[in-house]
Chain A
Amino acid sequence: MSSPPRDPENVARDPEVLALRNAGPDPIVGVREADGEGRGSDADDREHAQRGLLASPEAAALLEFSGIDGRERERARAFLDGTDYAEATVYADRRRVGECYRLRLCWVIWSESQVRTQYARTYRDWDVACSADRDARTLRLIRIPAALDPGAVSSYGSGVHTRGCVPPRRGGVETGGDTSNGTENASNGTENASDRRPPGGRP
């Protein structure tokens, strides 16, 4: 059984992943409600599944899919069932994205206490009909190649770049560290015509 090392940064740039998208406003995944009295470990699994971290087949079984068609549900279920939870943990990363954009996973990093993802956002093709004002939902099931203890993971985060993938920095992801709800670190362009920022020390 591989356990996550203490080194804060384990990086997977090309992890096994299943990407799902729902053009509509409905979430793709939810957590099955408890039937009757949830016992201790069941309640824990439920809480971890709410956050997206699945460390056992039991926890994975709590996920319910919607907003995607039957075939995709089967693929999602097969991805979860095909995970060896003694060696890996599945992170179900839910992200909203503008309807006219798509996300590509750049990397996932993890430690005993945190999981972070980074995405690159790009336009969908110009001839795809979509609205600049609407959002789509995405879900990625990411197989982290380490058996994490979900109870020890206290920090989750995600960032989005609009100019391609940026390598993870040592000691953490992104600046600020409050990207847990998908803050866009979009530095969208090289605009410097206006004086919206103070001019940066032009010597």
Chain B
Amino acid sequence: VSDFDAASRRAVLGLTGSALLAGCGALPSPSPFGGEAETTLDGAAIRSVVAGDGPVVPERIPVEVGTERIEAGRARVRELLAVAPLPLDRSEIPNGAIRAELTDAAERAREDLDAAAAAPSPITALRHLRFARMRAGRVAGGWRYVDEGLRRGDLRDDADRLADDVAAFRAERSYAGAPDGAVRSVLVHATVGKLAGTAAGHATTGGGDRPGEWRSNPVSVGELVGDLERGGAALTDARHVYDRYVGSLDAARDLHARFAAAGADLLDLLADRSGDLPSSDASPAAVVDGLTENSPGGLALEGLLDDVGYRRSLTDPRDEGDVATVVVRAHGRLARVGGAEALVAALREGTRFRPASAADVRSLRKTTLAALEGAVRDAPHPDLAREAAADLAGRVRYADRELARVGDDTAADRLAMDLREYVRVRYVARALPEAGRAVADALRPEPEADGG
């Protein structure tokens, strides 16, 4: 039982005599309905809790990304940004909204370049560069609309070529890996698979049956150029990571069958475990007596149950039967299932994560960050944990940014939507090591097949 549990009990029970605390941040006022009091929190204190940089968990893969790959990405961004005569002025693009859109894309491409330069890991730098290329592509494409008369139809060949290239890459790639390092192998191959999926998803000129007038202007044609640019970059990155990895292996083995079997096992395990969880359609009160929708704990549970319910399939059509990606997705989902189980248990014990003061918010955030750190530190395979923890860190940063905007006196209930992210991250992070062990078990070779 953590400090925070005690704090939330104080919020419920400690109302009498609370006038003594007035001015110290917590100003509970009795609810007219005789339920839990409406608590007002000191916004300035909360803003100070989230001041500064949020957590970042750099993704890492056991592949050495070539510096020449990163330099090539930067050069490509600069090349694209040189297409349009920036800064654009009125005489070049009289329509101010279109001009503003392209100008903004150029600025953001430069921000992405800066982010790539400051990236904590090469694989993250490549990600920033893909977005930089996408945004710089928007500017270049928008300008080519104006300057050369580039239109959507002109890009169909580029899109088809990209789709063909992705298909060719998928057909020729193997699942070569190190037999004694299957977890590392699956992580690399899932990274490759997701990049190929991104490329495939952008290899289109955007069909759809909606009338097309909104798609024939410099901004939308620029977006298409940017999408194709990003898709092309994703495929190049996929090839790069793949080639580097396979080239680094001493004794490579095709692990396709092992990945496929592990994926199937993990899906079975997930089906079992998810079956024991409450239905995502159940009301919070039906899951935990007295639980309401607007507590951070209730909201976090709702979100997790939604995610692990079968509404979202584990197999994404974009993966195109990518056996490695299935395993890595299952890892993330197992952690969410484990997190949901532990959260249900905590809620049944009466914890609601309702802050009675800014100090409670600080304590919740601190516990969350500790859980996030522990998830990577205690994981049997830290790089696999990082893959999931990077996403969790993003949730914390999101909540931080939202909480940085709270007003001076804010009702505690109004923070529930943001605080639920801390709750969720805390529980999912704690479940990551176990999920990592399950993945490692599933990837262990069958004695008959692989042993001696």
A contact residues vs B (CB 8 Å cutoff): 98-101, 104, 120-133, 162-166, 189, 193, 195-199, 201-203
Interface size class of B (residues with CB under 8 A): 35 or more
CA distance A164 to B98 in the complex (A): 17
- A130 x B421 contact (CB < 8 A): no
Our count of residue pairs bridging A and B at CB distance below 8 angstroms stands at 100
- A129 x B95 contact (CB < 8 A): yes
B210 CB contacts on chain A under 8 angstroms = 163-166
- B398 x A98 contact (CB < 8 A): no
A121 CB contacts on chain B under 8 angstroms = 214
A130 CB contacts on chain B under 8 angstroms = 94-97
- B421 x A198 contact (CB < 8 A): yes
Would you give the shortest CB distance from B210 to chain A, in whole angstroms? 3
- Residue interface bits B191-226, CB-to-A below 8 A is 1, else 0: 000000000000000001011111101110001000
Interfacial residues of chain B within 49-105, with CB under 8 A of chain A in the complex: 90, 93-100
CB-based nearest A residue for B130: A193
- A195 x B394 contact (CB < 8 A): yes
A123 CB contacts on chain B under 8 angstroms = 95, 97-98, 217-219
CA distance A126 to B307 in the complex (A): 43
B208 CB contacts on chain A under 8 angstroms = 164
- B214 x A162 contact (CB < 8 A): yes
A125 CB contacts on chain B under 8 angstroms = 95, 217
- A98 x B332 contact (CB < 8 A): no
Select which of A99, A126, A163, A199 is within 8 A of B395 by beta carbon: A199
A101 CB contacts on chain B under 8 angstroms = 97
- A133 x B96 contact (CB < 8 A): yes
CB-based nearest A residue for B209: A164
Would you give the shortest CB distance from B315 to chain A, in whole angstroms? 9
B314 CB contacts on chain A under 8 angstroms = 203
CA distance A98 to B97 in the complex (A): 8
Q: A126-B146, A127-B95, A128-B95 are in contact. Are A195 and B398 (CB under 8 A)?
A: yes
Select which of A99, A163, A193, A198 is within 8 A of B112 by beta carbon: A193
A165 CB contacts on chain B under 8 angstroms = 210-211
Would you give the shortest CB distance from B100 to chain A, in whole angstroms? 5
- A201 x B95 contact (CB < 8 A): no
CB-based nearest A residue for B303: A201
A99 CB contacts on chain B under 8 angstroms = 96-97
If A120-B213, A164-B208, A165-B210 are given as contacts, then 9 extra A-B residue pairs at C-beta distance below 8 Å, sorted by A number, are A100-B96, A100-B97, A101-B97, A127-B95, A130-B96, A193-B131, A198-B394, A199-B394, A199-B398
Q: Does any Cβ of A come within 8 Å of B397's Cβ?
A: yes
B219 CB contacts on chain A under 8 angstroms = 123
CA distance A195 to B399 in the complex (A): 10
Select which of B134, B146, B214 is within 8 A of A164 by beta carbon: B214
- A104 x B213 contact (CB < 8 A): yes
- B333 x A197 contact (CB < 8 A): no
CA distance A127 to B96 in the complex (A): 9
B395 CB contacts on chain A under 8 angstroms = 198-199
- A129 x B94 contact (CB < 8 A): yes
CB-based nearest B residue for A201: B307
CA distance A110 to B203 in the complex (A): 40
CB pairs A–B below 8 angstroms (26 shown):
A104-B213, A120-B214, A122-B217, A123-B217, A126-B98, A126-B217, A126-B218, A127-B95, A129-B94, A130-B95, A130-B96, A132-B96, A163-B210, A163-B214, A164-B213, A164-B215, A193-B131, A193-B134, A193-B135, A198-B398, A199-B395, A199-B398, A201-B312, A202-B391, A203-B314, A203-B330
CA distance A127 to B217 in the complex (A): 11
B316 CB contacts on chain A under 8 angstroms = 203
Report which residue of A121, A122, A125, A197 has the largest number of chain B beta carbons within 10 angstroms of its beta carbon.
Answer: A122
CA distance A22 to B440 in the complex (A): 67
CA distance A203 to B307 in the complex (A): 8
Q: Does any Cβ of A come within 8 Å of B244's Cβ?
A: no
CB-based nearest A residue for B132: A193
Q: Does any Cβ of A come within 8 Å of B145's Cβ?
A: yes
CB-based nearest A residue for B208: A164
CA distance A96 to B56 in the complex (A): 42
